[in-house]
A and B are shown apart, each in its own frame.
Chain A
Amino acid sequence: MFNFIIRRLLYAIPIIIGIALITFLLFNVVGGDPVLQMVGKHATPQVIEELRAEMGLNRPLPMQFVDFLRQIVTFDYGRSYSSKRDVLGMMIQAAPVSFTLAFPGFIISLCLSISASLFVAFWRGTLVDRVFVVVSVLMISVPSLAYILFGQYFLAYKVGLFPISGFSFDPTQVFSYIALPVLIWVVLSFGGELRFYRTVMLDEINQDYIRTARSKGLNERVVMFKHVLKNAMIPIITSVLIQIPFLITGALLLESFFAIPGMGTQLIDAFNTSDLPMIKAQVMVFSILYVVFNILTDICYSLVDPRVTIK
Chain B
Amino acid sequence: METNPVLEVQNLQTAFKVEGGEVVAVDDVSFSVRPGETLGIVGESGCGKSVTSLSIMRLIPNPPGRIKSGKILYNGKNLVDASNSEMRKIRGNEISMIFQEPMTSLNPVFTIGNQIMESIILHQKLSKKEARVKAIDMLRLVGIPAPEKRVDDYPHQLSGGMRQRVMIAMALSCNPNVLIADEPTTALDVTIQAQILELMKDLRKKLNMAVILITHDLGVVAETCDNVLVMYAGKVVEKGTAEDIFYRPTHPYTNGLLNSLPSRNKEANQGRLQTIPGMVPALSNLPKGCRFQDRCNRVQTKCREQEPSLETIQASHAAACFNPVKVGSA
Residues of chain A at the chain B interface (Cβ within 8 Å): 125-126, 207-219, 227, 230-231, 304-307
Contacts and interface: CB of A to CB of B under 8 A. Distances in A.
Contact of B88 (A218, A227, A306, A307): A218
Contacts of A227: 107, 110
B104 A307 contact: no
Contacts of A218: 88, 92, 118-119, 122
Contacts of B93: 217
Interface string B65-103: 000000000000000000001011111110011010100
Contacts of B104: 207-209
Given A211-B99, A307-B156, A217 B122 contact: yes
B109 A230 contact: yes
Contacts of A125: 63-64
B135 interface: no
B116 to A, nearest CB: 9
Interface of B: 57, 59, 63-64, 85, 87-93, 96-97, 99, 101, 104-111, 115, 118-119, 122-123, 154, 156, 167, 170
Nearest to A211: B59
A214 B108 contact: no
Given A217-B123, A218-B118, A212 B109 contact: no
A208 B101 contact: yes
B108 A306 contact: yes
A217 B154 contact: no
Contacts of A212: 99, 105-107, 115, 167, 170
Nearest to B119: A216
A229 to B, nearest CB: 10
A307 B57 contact: no
A211 B104 CA distance: 10
B167 A216 contact: no
A171 B258 CA distance: 83
B154 A307 contact: yes
Contacts of A215: 57, 59, 91-92, 96-97, 99
Contacts of B85: 219
Nearest to A304: B109
A210 to B, nearest CB: 8
Nearest to B58: A214
Nearest to A205: B61
A227 B63 CA distance: 21
Given A216-B170, A218-B88, A305 B108 contact: yes
A125 B62 CA distance: 9
Contacts of A216: 91-92, 118-119, 122, 170
